[in-house]
Amino acid sequence: MTELIRKTHEELARKELIDRYTITVNNIVVDISIYSEEERPVPEYIVSITNISDATKIILEKIRQEFISKMNLEEIESLEQNELINIRQRFKGEIKRLIHKYFPQADAKTINMLINYLIEENLGLGKIEILLQDPALEEIVINNHKDPVWVYHRKHGWLITNIKIVTEARIRHFATMIGRDIGKEITNLSPLMDAHLLTGDRVNATLGPISTKGNTITIRKFSQDPWTISKFIQENVLSVEAAALIWLAVQNELSVLISGGTGSGKTSMLNVISNFFPPNQRIISIEDTRELTLPGDLHWVPMETRLANPEGKGGVSMLDLLVNSLRMRPDRIIVGEIRRKREAEVLLEAMHTGHSVYGTIHANNAEEVVTRLTNSPIEIPKPMIASLSMIVIQNRNRRTGKRRTLQVAEITPTGDARILIKLNVNKDTLEQVAKSETMLERLKLYTGMTDEEIDFDLKEKVRILKWMVKKEIFDVNEIGMIIAKYYMGTLRMD
């Protein structure tokens, strides 16, 4: 073990440190270091527990081995949640006895820290728990037991870690435990599982031989610190001018569809535009897995779909919730993702009956959105799309990892997309390429505003957005209060 530690230190000396920070997990201080190396195409994400010495780790491993010899993973996997809590308490007592045996001088705080460490190593997700506590990570990926765990970092993109899961059985055990907590199962007969952790993080798991290199787990983390409009502007995801135009549309109850590829930031943008909702309207959101976090002062009812049980009963679909939401007197409806014809039809019908609708769809640009909506499997007649006012396209550069708004477009009366703002990739700036016609005419029709009043309104919104960024107002609830004061006419900017 000492020789391994020495070699690790020598390897780190040959690498360039590009980022470093600490997180605390159950009183355990964890050092996160990110290194780049010429021989490696991908930087390394190194996890090191700093307040447990190397000598202590050796003894803890001995305790772990002594403890694990008494465990039966298959028996634990079959336990109900309340039984698992009891067995944790039983094992907590056993681990405490072993710690007293090997660390007789340890104080209560240290003993509790070591107990938590060993409990998570044996009954929890082990070092995956550490990754789940890092707010800079968006995705955690286990590909098999032979390869290291991969993570997607907000700042650095894909990174390879120094964490490995010891066996395929251990990966399967993790998947089984996750599924059991929410009433789902993964077996040889049902080797695919979509689930979520109790914290809201989305989980997909597969078993070999479906995944031919081994069992996999993919965790997309639920953001505890959600994206807001001021964060988007500060990070150059969106310009203040584009943000002001979107704000104008949302304020005046025009429907918006957000599109882009996987991981491009569609849901984040959906969360961002919800910052502009007024507090005196009822909002219904419908998602497969809860990801949205709206300002706390909004009249918001979040709803979530549910898969059927193994007998095929109890399922609640997106369409079920969508149809039901129309009976709940909503002013605005948010839909996590539109996939099927009937969902799109109900949404468009909601638009025609005076509801404001906001949702996401998979397509890479504004023209593809129209193509996707008008072709199989959705197949909406093109003229019906005209009830949609705005399309916002999100994009992620897979080489740099940067997320940007690629296009902002309006829908013409014929159901075509007309680009108003688009990304100049070389300059990394959003540029206006056309002046709105259809959307502004609709605004003038419904609000009675003149061109001059619309122009003044946009400039005022730009001023407020710049002020929020300058004042570093990034909290979703604080932004919600500022927007509410703006609508009430009581906003004061220092």
pLDDT at 452: 95
Query: If you average pLDDT over every residue of the chain, what do you get?
Result: 85
Whole-Å CA distances, 205 to 153, 162, 191, 216, 223: 21, 21, 8, 5, 20
Q: Does position 81 have pLDDT exceeding 60, yes or no?
A: no
Do 312 and 453 belong to one domain? yes
Answer yes or no: are the C-beta atoms of 34 and 18 closer than 8 Å. yes
Higher local confidence (pLDDT), 214 or 113: 214
Residue 213 within a domain = no
Q: In the predicted model, is pLDDT for residue 191 greater than 60?
A: yes
In the chain, the percentage of residues whose pLDDT exceeds 90 is 51
Q: Confidence band (pLDDT; 50, 70, 90) for 99? A: confident
Give per-residue pLDDT as tens, 316-359: 988 899 889 989 999 999 998 888 888 888 888 888 878 899 99
Shared-domain flag, residues 255 and 113 = no
Paired with 217 in beta bridges are 142, 205
| Residue 106 pLDDT | 72
CATH number, domain of 359, equals: 3.40.50.300
For residue 3, what are the CA distances in angstroms to 12, 47, 163, 164, 299? 14, 19, 19, 19, 60
The answer on pLDDT for 221 being more than 80 is: yes
**CA 122/CA 91 separation, integer angstroms:** 10
Domain-located, residue 198:
no
pLDDT of residue 436: 92
What is the model's pLDDT at position 67? Answer: 61
Q: Is the pLDDT of residue 247 over 60?
A: yes
Q: Per the domain annotation, does 16 fall within a domain?
A: no
Please identify, among 96, 123, 150, the residue that sits at the C-terminal boundary of a domain. Answer: 123
- Contact residues for 342 (Cβ-Cβ < 8 A; gap 6+): 319
Confidence of residue 12 (pLDDT cuts 50, 70, 90): low
More confident residue, 290 or 80: 290
95 and 234 share a domain?
A: no
Tens of pLDDT along 32-79?
999 998 888 899 999 887 656 666 666 666 666 666 665 555 555 554
What's residue 24's pLDDT?
A: 85
* Rounded Cα distance, 366 and 371, in Å: 9
pLDDT for residue 86 = 55
Residues 6 or more apart from 402 whose CB is under 8 A from it?
A: 396, 428
The residue out of 69, 89, 123 marking a domain boundary is 123
- Quote the domain boundaries for residue 79: 52-123
Position 384 pLDDT exceeds 90:
no
Lowest mean pLDDT among 72-86, 310-324, 364-378, 400-414: 72-86
Contact yes or no for 163/148 (Cβ under 8 A): yes
Q: Residues 112, 233: one domain?
A: no
Asked if residue 451 belongs to a domain, the reply is: yes
Same domain, 112 and 240: no
Q: Is residue 82 part of a domain?
A: yes
Note whether residue 98 is domain-resident.
yes
Q: What is the pLDDT of residues 293-311, one digit of tens each?
A: 899 999 999 998 887 776 7
113 and 251 share a domain? no
CA separation for the pair 34, 36 (Å, rounded) = 7
Q: Which of 49-58, 71-80, 182-191, 226-235 is predicted with the least confidence, judged by mean pLDDT? A: 71-80
Residue 129: its pLDDT value, please?
85
pLDDT given for residue 313 in this prediction: 82
pTM over 0.85: no
Residues 233 and 377 in one domain: yes
Sheet with strand 157-161: strands edge to edge: 16-25, 28-36, 44-49, 157-161, 150-153, 137-142, 216-220, 202-206, 192-196
Which pLDDT score, from 0 to 100, does residue 87 have? 55
User: What's the start-to-end Cα distance of the chain, in Å?
Assistant: 59
Establish if 432 belongs to a structural domain: yes
Q: How far is CA 23 from CA 8, 18, 28, 137, in A?
A: 21, 17, 8, 12
Where does a domain end: 90, 123, 156? Answer: 123
The answer to whether position 296 is within a domain reads: yes
Total domains in the chain come to 2
Q: What are phi and psi of 33, to 5 degrees?
A: -120, 135
Neighbours of 339 (CB within 10 A): 16
Residue predicted with more confidence, 382 or 410: 410
